[in-house]
Structures are given as structure tokens and as C-alpha cells.
Amino acid sequence: MASTQQLKRRIGSVKNTKQITKAMELVAASKMRKATEAAHRGRAYRQSAHSMLARLNKVTEINEHPLYKKRPVDQRLYIVITSNRGLAGAYNSNVIKSLAGSIASDKKQKIKSSVIVIGKRGAQFLNRVEGIDIVAVYDDFSDKPTANDIRPILNTIIDKYTAKLVDEVCIIFTEHKSNILQTVDNLTVLPASYETDPDESEGPSLSDVTFEPSVNDVLENVTERLLEVQIWQALLESIASEQSMRMLSMKNATDNATEIIDDLTLEFNTARQAKITQELAEITGGAEAIK
């Protein structure tokens, strides 16, 4: 049995760990709340972009536009969203598993895959894997990304897609379904898709609407907005998921620490009692011997 001194030290250290995990749990909870709120705020943007597209669809055949036209896929680009920090349960490994699965199935179909990776964890993994073309690594995003952060990604994918360097762009991220359920999702962002809404044939006539500078320029811009909001929401959903998972794993860690403290305290008390009993026995033994 360990000495009381040692037990005391161990209890102290577990208590410190518990304080840290508890604090991390609380921090993650507040960050998660902020990220989900921000993700919801993007909805108005998405709706507006959609309704503009609906108007544009009346004057031009959207699905004929280069950004919408599907072509046979020879090269696929993935945008992968991982975190900069660990201690978030299976958050990163789930995303990486999904990416690895997609790349393996691409290989079978002889599709070349390349990757844009967000987050240090994903970058670390991909550096170890051979034969994957990494287009760019973004590992300096904060917990509160700005529109300016995702601009370069947006420009890269649009440039590559219009230059026909890639035929499809997918984004792999973690969807935040609820605080306890997060699932990895694989979403195709390019070619963009536009589905006609049956209700939209109502609404005002567009014969007298002016498009400046031209219908195509406007369409390109609105499409860009739509892509942007998709990336943006994927990013925020991922951040929310990361924080949820971190919150949960830190809660488990805190619970485990409590359990260990209880066990150690029990052991400590037993050891202490045993020591007292032994001392008493020695004293009585000593007293008997003097008689």
C-alpha cells in the first residue's frame, strides 16, 4: 500500500487536473453557444442569395452557366475542416476517416484528389500521407472567423474550377445536429446546384429589371455569395461541433477525476487508519513490555 504522503500528493494532482478539465468544459460550452448563434445568423444571407438566384433564373438559364454545368469528374478537390487543437474527442479522427474513405474510393475510380485543409490537426495527418496533393493549409483561423478569412479559399476554388483544374469541389465538415449529436458531412459545393422552386413562378414580372453590368456578372457574383455562405456555415458548424465534443470529453474527464479522487481518498483514509491502529498497538505493546 502506498504511503499516506504519496496518496496525498496524488489526490492533489488529480484535483488540479479536475479543475483544468472543468474550466475547459465551461469555456467550450460558451464558445459552442457563440458558434451556433453565428451559424444561425448566416441563414438570412443564404435565403437572400437564393431569392436573387430565383429572379435570375427567370432571365437566364442558370444551369447552363459554367459554374453550374456538370462535367465528368477527373479531378476532385476536397476542403477539409479540422481543428487547431486536440482534446475534442473523436472530432478530428471522424473527419479524417471520412476524407481517407473518399480518397480511397476516388483512387479506385482513377480520380485525382487534392485537398485544401483548415486546421493544424488535419495538416499534420495529411503531411504523413503520401500521394495527396495539398493545395493549401489554413491553420490560423480563430474561434471567431471573419468573412475575410474564407475569401482566399473561395477565390482558389472558383479559379481552379473555371480553369478546369478541378471538376468537382466537396467540403468535408462536421455538422452540428445538436449538442450531443454531430455527424461528418460531405457536401458538393461546385458545380453549384440550383433547383427551381415551384412557388417562384409567382412574383413580379422581371421584364423591366435592369442588370448592371450584365446578367452574367450578376449571376457570377450571386453564385459566389452562395458558395461563400456554404463554406462559412460549414466552418461555423464545425467549430460548434468541435466545441460540443470538447465539452463532452472534458465533462467525462471531470467525472473520471472525481471518481479517482473518491477512490484515492478512501485508500488514503484506510492507510491513515491502519497507521494509527498500528501505532496504538505499538504503544500498548511497549507499555505491556515495561510492566
Which residues would be at the binding site for other proteins (CB under 8 A)? 38, 41-42, 44-45, 48-49, 52, 55-56, 146-148, 151-152, 204, 206, 208-213, 217-218, 221-222, 225, 228-229, 232
At 57, list the grid cell.
433564373
Between 51 and 75, whose beta carbon lies closer to other proteins?
A: 51
CA-CA-CA-CA torsion sign (252, 256, 257, 261) = positive
Beta carbon of residue 11, minimum distance to other proteins (angstroms, whole number): 47
| Residues comprising the chain, all counted | 291
Beta carbon of residue 50, minimum distance to other proteins (angstroms, whole number): 11
At 113, list the grid cell.
484528389
Beta carbon of residue 26, minimum distance to other proteins (angstroms, whole number): 25
Between 228 and 242, whose beta carbon lies closer to other proteins?
A: 228
Distance CA 74, CA 94 (A): 26
Beta carbon of residue 155, minimum distance to other proteins (angstroms, whole number): 8
Between 13 and 146, whose beta carbon lies closer to other proteins?
A: 146
Between 68 and 211, whose beta carbon lies closer to other proteins?
A: 211
Between 10 and 46, whose beta carbon lies closer to other proteins?
A: 46
Between 18 and 31, whose beta carbon lies closer to other proteins?
A: 31
Distances (CA, A) of 66 to 48, 159, 162, 168: 22, 12, 7, 12
Beta carbon of residue 165, minimum distance to other proteins (angstroms, whole number): 15
| 3-state DSSP of 178-193 | CCCCEEEEEEEEECCC
The cell 456538370 sits on which residue? 70
The gap between the terminal CA atoms of the chain, to the nearest Å, is 34
Residue type, 191: P
Q: If you ran DSSP here, which 8-state letter would residue 172 be given?
A: E
Beta carbon of residue 61, minimum distance to other proteins (angstroms, whole number): 16
